[in-house]
Amino acid sequence: MTNQLKTAVLLAALSGLLIAISYWVIGGSGGLLIGIALAAVTNLFSWYQSDKIALAAYRAQPVSEREAPGLYRMVQRLSDRANIPMPRVYIVPSQGANAFATGRDREHAAVAVTEGILKILPEDELEGVIAHELTHIINRDTLTQAVAATVAGAISFLAQMVSYSLWFGGGSRDDSRGANPLGVLLTVMLAPLAATIIQLGISRTREFSADARSARLTGNPRALARALQRLEATAKQMPLNANPAYEPLLIINPISGQFLGNLFSSHPATQMRVAALLKLEQQLPAKVY
């Protein structure tokens, strides 16, 4: 419940930031109404198109049981165990090792893995990764993260448009009822940064929950812990060329981002996730299934 509340607060903050920017930049009740409308449209758009956008961003290709029998059956087995409809299965044509889930609900979900992750992970570790992604579907994290990405993208786009208008003299200094100069300046300088920080905060709150539920689903926390360590090491050598807006969907940071610090990381530190999984291992029976 704590993570759910934190996520709700962060999402509200992100939408509120979008509304506030419109109010500051456009000015008056008109700006406020435009901001509310923009927030509503972006949330509605991401609700219906989140899976298509994310899959297209990574050029993911659908696969059938005939094309990828081992992967397909693993997703099917874990979906049955979790009592959810089996999501569509995709493979991303990349040697970078990663995975993600997307979709607005359990009935419209997809799981995608890269070619690279299929090559480097043994079966038990890949099972932990797939269970992690199914957990994001169960918890509706896929929708939450897609909404966050879309709203953050709208904020950055709005700030960019304001920046262009300033460069080309589109603002009016004489309209006292129009744009707030301080609001314009803050929008250009701080809004994209604030949106990114909030979006990444939403992502980090969901990863620990997904790790824990994945461990319970497979009964093997240590396998997921090993997978995370292996994936982090691989990301340093062969990073995935990721769309920054959709990096939070991935199971692990596509590049090593330690120098940026936790504030700008889309995921908690891998060592913290591993420690939480090993602690959970002590609380679970040796084998659930």
CA distance 234 to 237: 5
Output helix, strand, coil percentages for the chain, rounded to the nearest 5: 70, 5, 25
Q: Are 233 and 121 in contact (CB under 8 A)?
A: no
Q: Are 89 and 72 in contact (CB under 8 A)?
A: yes
- What are the structure tokens assigned to 163, written together? 């920046």
Contacts of 220 (CB under 8 A, 6+ apart): 124, 127, 128, 287
Q: Is 108 annotated as a binding residue?
A: no
CA distance 265 to 67: 35
Q: Is 107 annotated as a binding residue?
A: no
Q: Are 264 and 197 in contact (CB under 8 A)?
A: yes
Q: Is 281 annotated as a binding residue?
A: no
Q: Which residues form the catalytic set?
A: 133
Binding-site residues for Zn(2+): 132, 136, 207
